[in-house]
Structure 1
Amino acid sequence: MLAAWLLSMRPVAATLKHDRGTLLLRQVPDAVAELFSWDARAQMWRAPGQRYREVMERLRAADASIQDEAAEFGKLEMVVSREIAPYPHQREALAAWKAAGRRGVVVLPTGAGKTLVAQLAMRDTPRSTLITVPTIDLLEQWYTGLLAMFPDVNVGMLGGGSHDETPILVSTYDSAAIHAETLANRYALLICDEVHHLPSDFTRVIAEYSLAPYRLGLTATPGRSDGREVDLDTLIGPVVYSKSPAELKGGALADYREVRIMVRLSPHEQAHYDTLIAERNAFLTTAGIQLGSPDGWTKFVLSSGSPAGRRAMLAHREARSLAYGTEGKLRVLDELLNQHPEARMLIFTDDNAMVYRVSREFLLPAITHQTPVKERHELLTHFRSGQYRRMVTSRVLNEGIDVPEASIAVILSGTATEREQIQRLGRILRKGEGKQAILYEVVTEGTSEERVSKQRRGEWKPRSAPVWEDVNAPD
């Protein structure tokens, strides 16, 4: 009786449970009290799932008793099928991630082997793993690569018609966000490819709900136009390793050079362009709108509801189309096609209309977001095999494709973001025997496209004075 009484006097361990991406405790030890808030409806203390690691570390440090019923992580036997000697930067990236507690973002150019860094992290952290990717193309690439690297582990897909439940799961961001509540406590390692997509309103729940104590983000360009890349520090971890294309040039990446070609509008095009810009600027002056200000573009869009505002907006769009689609650019493209008759070439434009125009005039295969998945797969297969040597596309192939054979990229037009420049350069940087990659950028002189080009190259600095010539505002 005395023994039973003494046992009953022992403190009962707190039980940590999981509920739809959150942690639940009925009684909260002092060590983690500040991490939980009271849920009157559930009559429990609740914390975000992403707090799981911090909760467990604090409880252990305080020697507090805890019964963990929240995590359903599984240990895996991660035997690799082949030994690949990583480049020095890949070893350094892996070591930096481990030193940071197996949390953080690795920034490497496209073609520098971010996927191998992730596979090595999985090998050295043999736990159930969720990998998120932005596109179906990347979903299939990751799935195929993981099957080859870890043939004895069950690998599945979520998205593109698949809904597997496997210890290693590759998912699109959209599918992972939709199922974030049920995925949250199943995976100990969360890997986010192209991690700059994660902080958006829809997809950030993947990390916020997840209990994963280990997190790895991969990207060539962490920056976002809305500044939310700072949220990655809490969602995944800080940047732990970074290399630029220039730092890896000629080593892990193909040697490359960038060539900027300036073209001029014809006298007729220039006169029409000047008229359009003058019409737009007259309206902006009257309305007191400065496109260079933080809310300038928003005000312009809102003002386009009026007849005068609509005319100004139409003038703006026509001037932009004129600068981006001048006949001079097509003459340059014709010359480049003749200069590199045997090279595998990707031609990038900013909009689909220009894609289809180039496709018609030069009889080139084209891929846009309107291209069906099967057709896109077939076109890329022909491009990789050499059956097609040239291909024209818009923003849809900025990321999510692997075309190591490509050595020439031609940018006929693009946005002002540095990410786009790095992504398009990355399409041609895969290492190859004796490969010399060239990125041609064709820019219309005497238009705002000059500023756009400098901005995506990181050469342009904002001015305090009004910026009237911004023809690259969002569509």
Structure 2
Amino acid sequence: MQNSAPLIVQGDRTLLLDVHAPLADECRCALIPFAELERSPEHLHTYRLSPLSLWNAAGAGFTPDYAVDVLKKYSRFDIPQSVSTWIYETAARFGKIRLVPDSVQGAAKPAEDSLILQTDSLAVFRELEANKKLAKYLTPVGENLRFRLSLTDRGTIKEELLKTGWPVKDEVPLKEGEFLDIHMREKTLSGKDFIVRRYQKEAAEAFLGDCGPGTGFGTLVLPCGSGKTIIGILLMAKLRTNTLIVTANISSVHQWIDEIIDKTDLSAEKIGEYSGEKKEIRPVTAATYQVLTRRPEKDGPYPHFKLFRERNWGLIIYDEVHLLPAPVFRVTAELQAVRRAGLTATLVREDGCEGLVFSLVGPKRYDVPWKELETSGWIADAECIEFRVDLDKGKELEYAVASVRQKHRIAGENPLKVPLVLDLVKRFPDDRILIIGQYLNQLFEIAGLLNIPIITGKTPIRERDMIYNDFRQGKLRVLAVSKVANFAIDLPDASMAIQISGTFGSRQEEAQRLGRILRPKNRTARFITLITADTQEEEYGSNRQQFLAEQGYSYRLVRRIEEIPDCDNTNESSEKLNGAETARGTV
């Protein structure tokens, strides 16, 4: 027993890290390769050992001995024998099946349109041979425990085998993309010093392997406001190759292009926009998921998928990778030879498809707790408040007899929320406020009463960009936005978000909406959610808050506006901000 050790290893393979223990930081770094961070509240962080986490570690060069030694070194109590045994047995499955180039006997070089899946175990070979789902991809090759498969099925077969409990050790080399001469600037175009933050460098190194094992493919998980775009640009500058960037919406495409021009020496002529408005394919091209998945006929082909093959890409960046739609998953499965980087604030998906991100884009290579960046001043201090509102008496009978879906809408559109929003805007005149909601009629009513602009999915791109720009420049103090603003929108001076309704119990949406106000600033950011009391909204609200609670944020419940004090701009907050000020341009 080591009383001062930071780690508690439990029989269910969860790991509890006491962040106040002397070796906590050292232990956290040692856990990253083989354990998944699940929750990071203020005092105890929870990690979990899973088959996927161990296979990811094995793929990056870490042995089961390393994992067991780390647990022994930092564990406060003896490790349960069942845990160490499980680690060795699970990790042993990695490498039993290997994917290699198809070297045809007598040929000068491997076949370009096929690969070989091989194993040294007859039992494993027979198991795969008997699997009817795999039969359409795999063709047995003689009696030497090998299968041949099409090059385009490389990702699909890895995905299908992972579902059966067999990870594939992919030994087929990544191809080199076309060279692109690109370098990071030391000063932005406005003349400000440009400094890449320590954790941004660490994330790039974890992906590339500059400091330890790296593969050139994988997912980087960092909070909103931490500058994930800068990490993507840093990868581009290190790899110096043609790059395709796929992101959530047209505003995000424009932000990527602006940041690349501002932070690198790449000229605008070498950066293309591939969207509903333009179809430019250049050495660096930014596209939207929407245009890539658009097709003329419901059951027809996806004509814009040709973009993936139009150039010799050396890197594909999937921004907000947790949004990756199913059709793009399919083409991503075909592009396993290309370096692939996924960027996201959270891999939570309500449909449970996180595994697809891991198997097709790549495993998690870097993760940092939200609260750690808040403490360092890289993202804003945030206070989460749940405001309980009574249901309008005129809606009580309608709510009582409504279906489940109708109940959600009635509670979300509760008329008593409208005057409350007006009072909040009036009470906090120094805040830059985003009013976010699910239902457009409700948003238009509030926007009309406050005489403010509103952005929805139907707002023209040019008008949308102008409104966002006015908000950034301080010409607008309050802005109403629908769910189109959930993702990849940079509004650095927003200090308060008022969430009037949401998408059922989506934890992902909750995290993204909080992210709209996390850019560093000299005041505490506030995330206020209006919940109709004693309705279905309370249950959904609890689920939505789950992710934020796991990141260390606590919700305060209030019933009256007077219970929300004026914003406290403490000296401590200012000191943290001053320490981060030199890098604000990197967000």
TM-score range, shorter chain: 0.7 to 0.9
The answer to whether 1:231 aligns with 2:347 is: no
The answer on whether the counterparts of 2:436 and 2:481 sit within 8 Å (CA) in structure 1 is yes
Equivalence for 2:483: 395
> Which residues of structure 2 form unaligned runs of 5+?
1-104, 120-124, 129-133, 141-147, 159-167, 188-193, 294-301, 550-587
Q: Residue 121 in 1 paired to residue 235 in 2? A: yes
Q: Give 1:157's aligned residue.
A: 273
Question: How far does residue 381 in structure 1 lie from its aligned partner after superposition?
Answer: 2.0
User: What residue is the counterpart of 1:47 in the other structure?
Assistant: 151
Task: Return 5+ residue gaps in structure 1 as ranges.
Answer: 1-9, 18-22, 61-69, 281-311, 462-475
Tell me the CA shift for residue 194 of structure 1: 0.5
The one of 100, 119, 124 equivalent to 2:214 is: 100
Letter aligned with residue 138 of structure 1: S
Question: Is 2:451 aligned against 1:374?
Answer: no
> CA 1:371/1:460 → structure 2, altered by over 3 Å: closer, same or farther?
closer
Task: Give TM-score scaled by structure 2 length.
Answer: 0.61
Q: Could you say which residue in structure 2 is the equivalent of 1:307? A: none
The separation in 2 between residues aligned to 1:352 and 1:358, in whole angstroms, is: 10
Greater shift, 325-334 or 221-230, is seen at: 325-334
Matches within 5 A, 1:17-96: 17=112, 23-24=113-114, 37=138, 46-48=150-152, 58=171, 73-82=177-186, 84-96=194-206
* Residue in structure 2 matching 1:14, options 106, 109, 114: 109
Deviation of the 1:218 alpha carbon = 0.4
For the 8 Å contact 1:49–1:210, the answer to whether it is kept is: no
- Residues 194-223 of structure 1 show CA distances to partners (whole Å, capped at 9, x for unaligned) of 10122x322213412225432110011212
Residue 333 of structure 1: which of 396, 400, 421 is its match? 421
Counterparts in 2 of 1:392 and 1:152: CA distance versus 1, 3 Å = closer
2:333 maps to 208
Q: Could you say if the C-alpha distance between residues 58 and 408 of structure 1 is closer, same or farther in structure 2, counting changes exceeding 3 Å?
A: closer
Separation in structure 2 between the aligned mates of residue 186 and residue 176 of structure 1, nearest angstrom: 18
Give, in angstroms, the shift of residue 342 of structure 1: 2.9
Superposition deviation, residue 181 in structure 1? 4.2
Residue in 1 that maps onto 2:582: none
Q: Is the 8 A contact 2:184 2:234 kept in 1?
A: no
- Residue 220 to residue 57, structure 1, CA distance change in 2 (3 Å): closer
Q: 1:171 aligns with which of 279, 287, 293?
A: 287
- AA matched with 2:538: E
Larger Rg computed on CA atoms = 1
User: Aligned pair 1:110/2:236, yes or no?
Assistant: no
1:450 alignment counterpart = 538
What is the match of residue 502 of structure 2? Answer: 414
Runs of 4+, deviation exceeding 6 Å: 28-31, 33-36, 54-57
- State the one-letter code of the partner of 2:234: L
Does the CA contact (< 8 Å) of 1:188 and 1:212 recur in 2?
no
1-structure distance, mates of 2:224, 2:276: 24
Out of 343, 346, 358, the position equivalent to 1:221 is: 346
Q: Which 10-residue stretch deviates more, 333-342 or 201-210?
A: 201-210
Structure 1 residues 130, 393: closer, same or farther in 2, change over 3 A? same
Alpha-carbon distance in 1 for matches of 2:534, 2:368 = 34
Aligned-pair CA distance for 1:361: 2.4
Go from structure 1 to structure 2 and tell me whether the alpha carbon gap of 1:172 and 1:85 turns closer, same or farther (over 3 Å shift): same
Paired residues of 1:49 and 1:211 also in contact (CA < 8 A): no
Structure 2: how far apart are the matches of 1:125 and 1:333? 48
Report the alpha carbon displacement of residue 174 of structure 1 after superposing the two structures with TM: 3.4
SS of 2:351's partner is: coil
After superposition, what is the alpha-carbon deviation per residue over 1:107-150, rounded to whole angstroms, capped at 9, x for unaligned? 11111110111111112222221111121111111112112233
1:197 aligns with 2:323: yes
Question: For the Cα contact (< 8 Å) 1:176–1:206, is it kept in 2?
Answer: no
Separation of aligned partners in 1, 2:386 and 2:335: 45
Distance 1:57 1:342 in 2: 55
1:358 equivalenced with 2:446 (yes/no) = yes
Displacement of 1:419 in angstroms is 1.0
Paired letter, 2:316: L
Contact 2:151 2:334 in 1 (8 A): no
Q: CA offset at residue 225 of structure 1?
A: 2.0
Q: CA RMSD in A?
A: 3.3
- Distance in 1, matches of 2:329 and 2:539, equals 33
Identity %: 27
Q: Which amino acid aligns with 2:496?
A: I
The residue type paired with residue 97 of structure 1 is F
Relative to structure 1, is the Cα distance of residues 174 and 411 closer, same or farther in structure 2, using a 3 angstrom cutoff?
Answer: closer
How much does 1:176 deviate?
4.1
Work out whether residues 139 and 171 of structure 1, in 8 Å CA contact, stay in contact via their aligned partners in 2.
Answer: yes
- Please tell me the residue identity of whatever aligns with 1:340: F
* TM-score of the superposed pair, with normalisation by structure 1: 0.74
Secondary structure of 2:431 counterpart:
coil
CA distance in 1, matches of 2:494, 2:415: 26
* Counterpart position of 1:258: 384
CA distance in 1, matches of 2:153, 2:408: 46
**How far apart, in 2, do the equivalents of 1:169 and 1:380 lie?**
23
| Residue 245 (structure 1) shift | 3.0
1:110 aligned counterpart, secondary structure: coil
Q: Distance in 2 between matches of 1:144 and 1:438?
A: 28
- The secondary structure found in structure 1 opposite 2:546 is coil
Measure how far apart 1:373 and its partner are.
1.7
Q: What are the superposed Cα offsets for residues 250-304 of structure 1, whole Å, 9 maximum, x if unpaired?
A: 421011211221111244443x25xx43x34xxxxxxxxxxxxxxxxxxxxxxxx
Distance 1:383 1:124 in 2: 34
1:398–1:384: structure 2 CA closer, same or farther, 3 Å change rule?
A: same
Partner amino acid, structure 2, of 1:13: A
| Alignment partners' CA distance in 2, 1:393 and 1:50 | 41
Give the aligned partner of residue 467 of structure 1: none
